[in-house]
Amino acid sequence: MTQPDAQTLQRVTSALRAQRIETPSWAYANSGTRFKVFPQEGVPRNPYEKVADAAVVHRLTGVAPTVALHIPWDLVDDYADLAAYAGDQGVRLGAINANVFQDNDYKLGSVTNPDPGVRRKAIDHLLECVDIMDRTGSRDLKLWFSDGINYPGQDDIRARQDRLATALRETYDRLGDDQRLLLEYKLFEPAFYATDVPDWGTAYAHCLELGPKAQVVIDTGHHAPGTNIEFIVAFLLRAGKLGAFDFNSRFYADDDLMVGSADPFQLFRIMHEIVRGDALAPEAGIAFMLDQCHNIEPKIPAIIRSVLNVQEATAKALLVDSDALAAAQRAGDVLGANAVLMDAYNTDVRPLLAELRTDLGLDPDPMAAYARSGYFERIRAERADGQQAGWGA
């Protein structure tokens, strides 16, 4: 491939400067598998310390200015105070994630539970999350439901769809003008026979019925093996119904590993559709979020690495010669069109990104800068006592 010309470089770097990636508060806390949570040193003990860690990631990468919260994991007395603290640290509070999957009452489901009392409790939590959004200034309410059934006949599939629609409607109607409901889908787990929101089609249909403030979230880990995720991206973007990504990587199921680690080519293909759909700039309204857990690797460096992986895939997608691609496609030049894409994918964009960071006044190597910063040594000492934050708190 020929080196990108000055005009291309200018276009690519200005798009990369504007890119925004949101990090998840829970990725900074302890997490694990069903088998074991391995605690790490220096892990935050409360939402303030999670925000402080997120601010470090932003200071070093320059592209991660918001941090998503998960309620009740990030319950605080005063959300305005947490938002002010975030501001002091140079970041903002991002999406509010509801949690209706960790209470004994939800054994048979939350908003689709056959018991109307449990459904009421679940909906009240969703409404409480919108109250929190009002105080944090968050735009997005992200909903993932663990609801579903394990055995044929356990509950009525169709009635559960009705209950879901009712809950979503009440929540949607509570949203302010500038707020959105983002509906996430997941093929299976923890329900194994029938999940109530198993796929993008189901999420899309509910969002369509709700109205313009409802959009679909694509969590990259929530598909069957081999699913063409970039097709879903293209389809939802075209329909104006793509709201956000939960980025992560999977080798098997919902592994929540670092984005771009299992299949960087898939991430490139996804970002290519984003660029193709003119959806990269923050004004396009797509939230690019990470939804990851760092169970055995150090958390802050893993999150920095993840942000860099998204940037690298984006840079490659921006390098696709769209004129040459369109020409090859028009001419029916199958191999030529594929070569245009592969040329971009095979470009080493690390020097370009290092230069961009230098221009932004950042260290060209955020991983090395973090290692040198002494931040880990500091939090290890400062956070030696007390209860570390995790999935339950």
Which helix (DSSP H) or strand (DSSP E) does residue 24 occupy?
strand 22-24
Report yes or no: 315 and 16 within 8 Å, Cβ to Cβ. yes
196 touches Mn ion (CB under 5 A) = no
Q: Would you tell me the crossing angle of helices 299-318 and 334-345 to the nearest 10 degrees?
A: 140
Name the residue with tokens 């990470």.
290
147 touches ligand RM4 (CB under 6 A) = no
* Residues 82-121, interacting with ligand RM4 (CB under 6 A): 97
Q: With contacts defined by CB under 5 A, name the span among 168-176, 226-234, 290-298, 380-388 that binds Mn ion.
A: 290-298
**Least distance to ligand RM4 from the beta carbon of 219, Å?**
5
219 touches Mn ion (CB under 5 A) = yes
144 touches ligand RM4 (CB under 6 A) = yes
312 touches ligand RM4 (CB under 6 A) = no
Report yes or no: 293 and 259 within 8 Å, Cβ to Cβ. no
Query: Which of 53, 140, 246, 312 contacts ligand RM4 by CB under 6 A?
Result: 246
Q: Look at residue 100 and give its three-state secondary structure.
A: coil
**Least distance to Mn ion from the beta carbon of 142, Å?**
8
Of 299, 168, 314, 185, the closest CA to residue 243 belongs to 185
Dihedral sign, CA of 82, 182, 245, 32? positive
Nearer to ligand RM4, 13 or 195 (CB): 195
- Residue whose beta carbon is closest to ligand RM4: 144
β-pairing, 148-149 with 194-195?
antiparallel
> Which of Mn ion, ligand RM4, none does residue 254 bind to, with CB < 5 to 8 Å depending on kind?
ligand RM4
Q: List, as own/partner pairs, every contact residues 163-166 make where C-beta atoms lie below 8 angstroms and the sequence separation is at least 24, other chains included.
A: 163/111, 163/112, 163/113, 163/119, 164/111, 164/112, 164/196, 164/197, 164/206, 165/206, 165/209, 166/111, 166/119
Report yes or no: 357 and 312 within 8 Å, Cβ to Cβ. no
Q: Look at residue 367 and give its three-state secondary structure.
A: helix
DSSP state of 98: P
187 token code pair: 């093929």
* Residues 290-309, interacting with ligand RM4 (CB under 6 A): 291
Q: How many residues bind Mn ion (CB under 5 A)?
A: 3
> Which of Mn ion, ligand RM4, none does residue 312 bind to, with CB < 5 to 8 Å depending on kind?
none
Q: With contacts defined by CB under 5 A, name the span among 103-111, 188-196, 238-246, 303-311 that binds Mn ion.
A: 238-246
Q: With contacts defined by CB under 5 A, name the span among 76-84, 173-181, 219-227, 343-351 that binds Mn ion.
A: 219-227
Site string for Mn ion, 243-262 (x = CB under 5 A): ---x----------------
Which residues, other chains included, contact 25 with Cβ-Cβ below 8 Å and sequence gap of 6+?
47, 50, 51, 54, 67, 68, 69, 70, 73, 74
140 touches ligand RM4 (CB under 6 A) = no
147 token code pair: 């609801």
Site string for ligand RM4, 205-234 (x = CB under 6 A): --------------x---------------
* Residues 249-288, interacting with ligand RM4 (CB under 6 A): 254
Query: Which of 291, 307, 353, 389 contacts Mn ion by CB under 5 A?
Result: 291
Which residues, other chains included, contact 5 with Cβ-Cβ below 8 Å and sequence gap of 6+?
none
> Which of Mn ion, ligand RM4, none does residue 97 bind to, with CB < 5 to 8 Å depending on kind?
ligand RM4
Site string for ligand RM4, 62-81 (x = CB under 6 A): --------x-----------
Q: Which residues in this chain contact Mn ion in the complex, by CB under 5 A?
A: 219, 246, 291
Q: Which residues in this chain contact ligand RM4 in the complex, by CB under 6 A?
A: 70, 97, 144, 184, 186, 219, 246, 254, 291
